[in-house]
Amino acid sequence: MIAVEALPSLAQLKNLRRLDVSKCKIGSEVIFALASLPLLIELNLRNENRLSDDTFTKGGFPWHHLVSLDLTSCSKLSDVSFVSLPPCPNFQTLILESCYNLTDVTINSISTKMTSLTKLSLKGCKFITDSSLVPLSQRLSKLQDLKLSRCHSITSVSLQAIATNLCNTLDKIDLSMCPQLEESSIQNLIIQCPKLISVNLSENPNITQNTLTIINDLTNLLHLKLDSCPKLIDDGSLTFSNLEKLQTLSIQKLQISHQSFLNMTTVLSKLTYISLKQCYHLNELSFTGLNLLTQLEYLDLSNNSRVLDGTMISICNHLKNLKHLDLTLCIRLTTKSFLQIGKHLQSLETLILSGCANLNDANVIHLAENLCLLRHLDLSSAGLLTDRSVHFLADHLLYLEKLFLRECNNITQAAIDYIKSKCTLFRLTRLSLHSLPLVGELRNASPSEILKPIKINEGTTSEWRLQAKERANKQKELEKTESLQREQEKRMQLLQQQKEEVEARLKKKKREEEEQAKKIEVVEIRYRDYEESLGYKELLQRPVTNPPIDPNNLEKYLNDESFQQVFHLKKSTFYSLPKWKSDKLKKDLNLF
């Protein structure tokens, strides 16, 4: 775990371009330290509740070179943070979701200073009104992705401005939970923005089937959400005939009819994601239409009591690419379904079986044996499960990260201890036991097996911090000692290597000297003695003698008088000359 105090040291990473410090509980001092990163373009500060307006107003925030900033749930921020924004020509993405205190003042400043924005999320900014959104649509001509979910104060006036000014660029729009929007304005927006690939109209009280007819003309649409639209009532004529490219579809609580659903599945063959939560008008025969969606990876059938074993057997035989399956409160499923899931859906990473009352130990063991890639498993409210299931899960699911066992009343403390010992922190990141009987005896368990919270030593916050600091210091000392030992070992190895190299060089040099001495010895024996003088003219002819004359030292065969006549130098003077000069003289006289 990285301490918050260590985060400013990231400023040393001068080439850092993207940084995510979400939920790190950082303060302004960390942001100011990171502001010195010259190449930082993307910063994620989600759920940083300690950040206040001071962080953005004291001049230390890197507005000038950021391209993307996520401030989701930074709930302490107000208009003060944005009212004096410097020009931000590079900004392309700004996420302000759940920044509840922001008003039109902030939006006006953003639209003036961040004119290059392509993505803007204002989810949950409930004080934003038409007075700021209208000029925003006029100034941000490059905006492609706009999220206005839960902006309760906006009306159709904003939508008309968006449709008029952003019709050539807008491709993603989120208008969920905006109760004041009229259906006619939404229809007008869809008609004027033909490039839309993502539309979210969830929980809009005014949407009817007429809007779906217009959406059906968006032939490039990839993502569509229509959850909980109370006026959207299907009379059997609902159609998606032109949405062949659609990849994700969420129609939770939409009362789609059996025939419309079958027609839809014959067209939307490219779907990879579909959520049918609480679609009560669908029956077992309706769900057979899912067999045609062979590319599905995400399937949500939660809260559908009409899902039976026959439905699941059919799904398991046809949808073998599923990675996420939610069967919450599908209470009529039995062992037949669970066996088929384990047999055919071996690519599953998320399996939610909360409220499946017929789930027992044998079923869970079968699932654990076959679904080796599971990362998220929810078995909440499975009253038949015992410790045997938990032990088997801990031993076989090597990639498990989240395990939910809420209201599994037959699971004892021993099983919880076992799974905690088998699944280390770096694997199992979440273990949910909510609503287990934390006080009193567990069913069929001895008092020693009572599930109790982990005991924490009493003390003040300062004492806990001091203890944590002491542990950190001990860990640092241990790491430092180990590091010194490793460095010492490396030095010893280096010294040994250098010693061996020196010895090898000395041996090589000795061998060369011995060989050279032998050569010199042979040469001295082979050449004629220098005291046997020869004349200059005779030397020019290179006479053949026995032993031969030394060709490298011909001048040595001249007597003193001849040497001086030829070189015009005394021998002592000649041999005191630099070698290059003496060699030149010898070359000039043809004695070289």
| pLDDT (0 to 100) of residue 458 | 45
**209-267 pLDDT per residue, tens:** 999 999 999 999 999 999 999 999 888 888 889 999 999 999 999 989 999 999 999 99
Range of the domain at 587: 533-592
What pTM does this model have?
Answer: 0.71
Mean pLDDT of 500-518: 87
**Is residue 212 situated within a structural domain?**
no
Is the pLDDT at 442 greater than 60? The verdict is no
- For residue 577, being part of any structural domain is answered with yes
Q: Is 417 within a domain? A: no
Tell me, yes or no, whether 543 lies in a domain.
Answer: yes
Whether 565 is covered by a domain: the verdict is yes
590 belongs to a structural domain: yes
CATH number, domain with residue 580: 1.10.950.10
SS3 105: helix
Range name among 23-37, 366-380, 483-497 with the lowest pLDDT average: 23-37
Residue 215: Cβ-neighbour burial (10 angstroms; 0-12, 13-18, 19+):
buried
Q: Tokens in use for 378? A: 């929810």
Q: Residue 441: is its pLDDT beyond 50?
A: no
Q: For residue 293, what pLDDT is reported?
A: 96
User: Is 336 a member of any domain?
Assistant: no
pLDDT in tens, 334-361: 999 999 999 999 999 999 999 999 999 9
Domain count, the chain: 1
Tokens found for residue 64: 């000038």
**pLDDT confidence tier of residue 427, bands split at 50, 70 and 90:** low
What integer pLDDT is reported at residue 464 of this predicted model?
61
Grade residue 531 by pLDDT with cuts at 50, 70 and 90. confident
Q: Which pLDDT score, from 0 to 100, does residue 15 have?
A: 86
- Whole-number pLDDT of residue 465: 67
Nearest-5° Cα angle at 268, 339 to 236: 95
Q: How far apart are CA 250 and CA 579, in angstroms?
A: 95
- Classify residue 588: in a domain, yes or no: yes
* Residue 24 neighbours by CB distance under 10 Å: 17
Write down the pLDDT at residue 424. Answer: 55
Distance CA(247)–CA(128), nearest Å, equals 32
Number of H helices, E strands in the chain: 19, 17
- The pLDDT of residue 554 is 80
The mean per-residue pLDDT over the stretch 392-401 comes to 87
In tens, the pLDDT along 447-473 reads: 444 333 334 444 455 666 677 788 888
- Asked if residue 113 lies in contact with residue 81, where contact means CB atoms within 8 angstroms, the answer is no
